Amino acid sequence: MSDDVCLAFGHPEERSKAISGPLVDRISLRDHIVEAEIGAFQVERGVQQRMSFNVVVEVRPSSGADTDDVDDILSYDRVTEAIAAEMAVERLNLLETLAERVADRILLEPQALRVFVRIEKLDRGPGKLGVEIVRSRQDHAPVHVATEVPSPVVVYLSNAALCSDNLGAWLDQLAAASKPVVLSLGMASSVPVDESGSVGLRVGLLSMEQNAWLLAARDPRCVVVGSKTELDWGMKHGQLSVWAPSKLVLDSVEVPVFDPTHAQSLAAWFAAEMQAQKLIVVGGDAANTSIETVTSSVDDAVLPL
């Protein structure tokens, strides 16, 4: 093998040494095994796979060796935390996406200059399937940076609320609210769910999305959105978003357990995921809620989280 080929299949630490300019300090994480659900193929859904992470971070010189103080260095924990944090955000299809996000997060550390990330799937075949990337603070501005996201008011509209003559007035009130609003809906009453497991879950979610599109057709201010990126954009731009639940639910690290015929519980899960200020229920499943609840100001908590 040529030197280039040897380096391509060598550990990231060997590559970092070979292509470095001035001498730099490095920290490394070798053969860090994590289990998670990841993959673009249907057979990979609902299946935990082992992944091996090898990471090398080139860092600025520090006083850590002199002070023997962990606060003066880039701790190994920050590397493993970056992996855990990105895997907890959402279910991903591609190793490339995960590697990019881990590298971005590590480069947010002030000591980090360049990072080498290799991720390999260990259970997809007789060999290891993986991706390796190199990202530098100098030539790569991190794109996956934590930014402040508004905390919305989540409003659950039951089927009775959707059929109410007051719906238009409620939407007027919600659209005029000073706080970002996201609407969550129940399952369309015309679609029964008599299946269990993943089939019943998907039928229930699609039925909720049917309701979402029917509401969007009824009022053009209501925009159906399914991803966190769309939800974040809508909250920042005063959009009246209607949550289509399939993507967030199916891509969540732990799929919530709920009865689709009582979708109010899913609205509560969604409100917690979005770190909502409050959850307002309009004609919900609980006996002590009613359609009239929404006549209170959106700025007043009707059913606080």
Q: Give the residue numbers marked as catalytic.
A: 44, 121
Taking the CA atoms of the chain, what radius of gyration do you get in angstroms?
24
**Rounded to whole angstroms, how far apart are CA atoms 97 and 89?**
12
Q: What is the DSSP string of 120-168?
A: EESSSSSS-EEEEEEEETTT---S------PPPEEEEE-HHHHTSTTHH
Which tokens is 75 given? Answer: 């701790």
**At CB < 8 A and 24+ separation, what contacts does 263-269 make?**
263/156, 263/184, 263/185, 263/186, 263/187, 263/204, 263/208, 264/156, 264/158, 264/186, 266/184, 266/208, 267/154, 267/156, 267/184, 268/305
64 in Cβ contact with 27 (< 8 Å): no
**SS3 label, residue 39:** coil
Q: What residue type is assigned to position 238 of the chain? A: G
